[in-house]
Amino acid sequence: MKKVSFFSSIRWKVIVVYILLLLLGIQVIGAYFAKNLQDRLENNFISSVEESSNVLKFSLKEAFQKENERTEDDPTLESEVRSILYDFDPQDISTMLVIDQNSRIIAAEGQNYDEQSIVGTKTNLQIIKTTLLIGEGETAEGLNEQTNDRVFVKTEPIMVGNTVVGAIYIEADMSVIYDQMQEINQIFAQGTLISLTITVLLGVLVARSITKPISEMRKQAKVMATGDFSQKVNVYGTDEIGQLGMTFNDLNDKLKLSQATTEGERRKLSSVLSNMSDGVVATDRLGAITLMNAPATMLIGQTFEDVQGQSLIDVLNINDQISDISEIEEVGSMIIDMSTDEEPFLLKANFSVVEDEFEEMGGFITVLSDVTEQERVEQERRDFVSNVSHELRTPLTTMRSYLEALSEGAWEDKEIAPKFLDVTQNETERMIRLVNDLLQLSKMDAKNYNLSKDRVDFNPFFHHIIDRFEMNKVEHIAFERLIPDERVFVWMDQDKITQVLDNIISNAIKYSPEGGTIRFHTEKRRNKLEISVSDEGMGIPTEKVDKIFERFYRVDRARTRKLGGTGLGLAIAREMIEAHHGEIWAKSKEGKGTTVFFTLPLMKKRRDQS
């Protein structure tokens, strides 16, 4: 965050506003005070001049009234008027003129006039002429032409009866008023400067008291922005700023609680997403990927960094099924085939819409599930039903044909009837074996069977099984035993392992050619005993070796059916070996024969039967 400079801070603004308000107040008060003071001084000055002029007017009026009664021994009017002016010494009046009715100056007194030069002359002042003419006093303000000072001018008529016999002209210097006003203004300016200095200091303190809590809240807001809610601002009072501080601390507590709740929910969601076996992909309303968990990364085969911001349609490669992201809501779910040449891989995608608080579409959530195994099991189930139906239909069709022939009279033929009955009996036994195998597999799938395990020395047991087959084998097949002469104990159910070996050895005998050899071998491998049975038959293609343990799977269906097999022997063998915690597998080459291996856990010490 950019640092706030002093001149753009609220503290500077508070100080400036504080000073401006004070200046405005001082200027308004000063202007009002100066104007009223000046008016008061001017009024007092004019009143003083008028009082003086009235006194002078009264004295001069008496002198003019004696004019008709004056004797030779009496002083002349001019002398008496000059005497009156000389004796009259007002402080505010700077010039006094006495003019007779003919506008002739008969006496003059003042610093601005030379008595010898103007006495006896006529005046040209219009204000005096107006006064003599109309008989009324006049006042005016102006500048003295000689001193350039501001003066107050007043004229008064001298009346004897109703006749104007003369006039008085008075000039009063007003500079003293303005000198006083200037001194007062200077004092006022000095006071203003002192007040401003004090105001600035007080403004700094006031602004600091106001902005300090705000600065602390600003710093705390920056700390809160980093996710740290452990600190609180100081509350310095109960005013608005103090209440703001308390509200700020309350907001801090609520944000802390909200963050803790949000973080808890985020961790729960993260834990759920991380521990889900299904993949989850979140997109915005335009279909761009914004979130993806680890299972989705494994299912898609791309990291979140690789697909972030890309279109979900492109990442899942479903452009042929969906052309626009808006169609996803209508699709709901789909199966996505991501199989390769090496292995099948099917994904099921379930789409759901995410709505915001205004119930408007804000994005999509896609849940990806690996349904390859599910589809494989479903296909196996369908194949199983089909195979069982086929396996049962063939002997049933054969039996029905032969039974129909017998019912139509073939039973009377002594040569054909026994053959038909023999075929019918063989097919019946084949169906019985098939049904028995199916029942056994069903029990094993449901875990509805018990293993009666005993401590068995396997090599003698293996020899006993081989001896039984060797007694009944055809002459053109040879048995080769590669079994060590040692005691090897395993914990097993003898009946179940006998059935396993019967299935494996029977298959080896069935597929061994004339002159072929079947080899039997046992070998210890760490904590397991490995048993193998090898033949020299036609062999199995490499890509089909792992499938021979599937139910009803036959490499050569026609030949297997001819030899009476149900296609369930090795499937049953696998279930039994796995029930003993062993493994079973095969190796084969076409034209070279096949070897079937299985393992059983070895016993290290004698154990009681469980």
pLDDT band at 7 (very low <50, low <70, confident <90, very high): low
Quick check: helix, strand or coil at residue 277?
A: coil
Residue 3: the pLDDT is: 56
Residue 433: the pLDDT is: 67
The domain defined by 454-601 folds into Heat Shock Protein 90 (3.30.565)
- In degrees rounded to 5, what are phi and psi of residue 144? -75, 130
In one letter, which amino acid is 230?
A: S
pLDDT band at 609 (very low <50, low <70, confident <90, very high): very low
Highest mean pLDDT among 169-173, 263-267, 496-500: 496-500
Residue 209: the pLDDT is: 76
The CATH code of domain 376-445 reads 1.10.287.130
Structure tokens at 473: 């084998």
pLDDT band at 564 (very low <50, low <70, confident <90, very high): very low
| Pairing relationship of beta strands 163-173 and 279-284 according to DSSP bridges | unpaired
Find all residues with CB under 8 Å of 118, minimum gap 6, and list them.
97, 105, 108
Q: What is the pLDDT of residues 432-489, one digit of tens each?
A: 766 776 666 666 665 656 778 889 999 999 999 898 888 877 678 899 999 999 999 9
Residue 490: the pLDDT is: 93
% the chain with pLDDT above 70: 85
Highest mean pLDDT among 2-11, 61-70, 166-175, 391-400: 166-175
The stretch 202-216 carries a mean pLDDT of 77
CATH number of 276-370, picked from 3.30.450.20, 3.40.50.1370, 3.10.290.10, 3.40.50.2300: 3.30.450.20
Mean pLDDT over each residue of the chain, to the nearest integer:
80
Residue 607: the pLDDT is: 46
Tell me where in the chain the CATH 3.30.450.20 domain(s) lie.
13-179, 276-370
286 has pLDDT over 50:
yes
The CATH code of domain 13-179 reads 3.30.450.20
Lowest mean pLDDT among 82-86, 120-124, 277-281, 480-484: 82-86
Dihedral sign for Cα 209, 213, 219, 221, please.
negative
pLDDT band at 567 (very low <50, low <70, confident <90, very high): low
The stretch 304-329 carries a mean pLDDT of 81
The structure's pTM equals 0.41
Rounded to an integer, what distance in angstroms lies between the CA atom of residue 106 and that of residue 67?
A: 14
Continuous segment of H or E residues that includes residue 352:
strand 346-355
Q: What is the pLDDT of residues 230-262, one digit of tens each?
A: 788 888 777 777 888 888 888 888 888 888 887
Find all residues with CB under 8 Å of 369, minimum gap 6, and list them.
278, 279, 347, 348, 350
Residue 62: the pLDDT is: 78
Rounded to an integer, what distance in angstroms lies between the CA atom of residue 149 and that of residue 141?
A: 11
Find all residues with CB under 8 Å of 464, minimum gap 6, and list them.
none
Quick check: helix, strand or coil at residue 361?
A: strand
Could you tell me the CA-to-CA distances from 363 to 133, 296, 300, 328 in Å, in that order? Answer: 105, 18, 20, 11
Structure tokens at 72: 């030779």
8 has pLDDT over 70:
no
Rounded to an integer, what distance in angstroms lies between the CA atom of residue 607 and that of residue 610?
A: 9
Neighbour-count burial of 161, counting CB atoms closer than 10 A to its CB (0-12 exposed, 13-18 middle, 19+ buried) = exposed
Tell me where in the chain the CATH 1.10.287.130 domain(s) lie.
376-445
Rounded to an integer, what distance in angstroms lies between the CA atom of residue 219 and that of residue 217?
A: 5
Partners of residue 109 on adjacent β-strands: 96
563 has pLDDT over 70:
no
Are 120 and 102 in contact by the 8 Å Cβ rule? The answer is no
**57: how many CB neighbours lie within 10 A of its CB?**
19
DSSP H helices in 66-152:
77-87, 115-118, 126-134
Strand blocks (E) in 224-320:
279-284, 289-292
Structure tokens at 312: 């979900």
531 has pLDDT over 90:
yes
